[in-house]
Amino acid sequence: MMRHKGEVLAKKVSLAALALTMAMLIAGHGFADVTISNSTFHENSATLTNQWWPMYLGTAWTFKRTKGAFQGTTFTISAVGAEAIYGVNCLKVRFEGLDGEFYYRWFAQDTSGSIQAFKKSEPDGDIVVINSDDDLPNTYMPGRLSVGESWVAWSFDGHDAKTLSVESDMAAIGSYRDCLKIKAVSVDGTTFHYYKRGLGLIAIESDSGDVGIRSDL
């Protein structure tokens, strides 16, 4: 019997959530809801079901640079582990680029569907944990987005916060159409992130002309 791709993906997510739950049990983490500032997190907060950033333990996204100085090279974003921070189950995500340089971010999804950032590591090994009293919620990806909306989040490259704003929900890049296009402005310049509902981040374009597009789809 043939299965629809959506059914297969749903099964994978369910199995990943079960595996993550078992990992948390083994690690001795409890499952009581945790509320920090105005964000509440359930036991499955490390399984990210946000339509613009769907990710669970074992997810791996590969991007190939199709334009720019590093054309032909690749970079990856992958979910490699789980950790409880302030009692919230977080997904550990690895970002790896040129020359094997990498860094990590720890994310959890709250009950509104927004993905919050709890911790970050830099390529030089420095680790920063968000202060739960002052800085949370630190929204990495809101649960709901509309054209014109903006917010502030940590940057991918580990520098200070970047301002993000939704420019379009019908953008096109490569072979992808009807994408959510988000403009990200930081001290390092401007980049454009393209998202496809249910697939997550599918392309990044810099103001210098570099373009990286998902090659694992």
pLDDT tens for the 217 residues of the chain, in order: 434 444 444 444 455 555 555 445 434 444 579 988 788 999 999 999 999 999 999 999 999 999 998 899 999 999 999 999 989 999 999 999 876 788 899 999 999 999 999 888 877 777 777 765 556 668 889 999 999 999 888 644 445 678 899 999 999 999 999 999 999 998 878 999 999 999 999 999 998 889 999 999 8
pLDDT value of position 139: 87
CA distances 116 to 10, 39, 94, Å, are 23, 9, 16
Burial of 163 (0-12, 13-18, 19+ CB in 10 A): middle
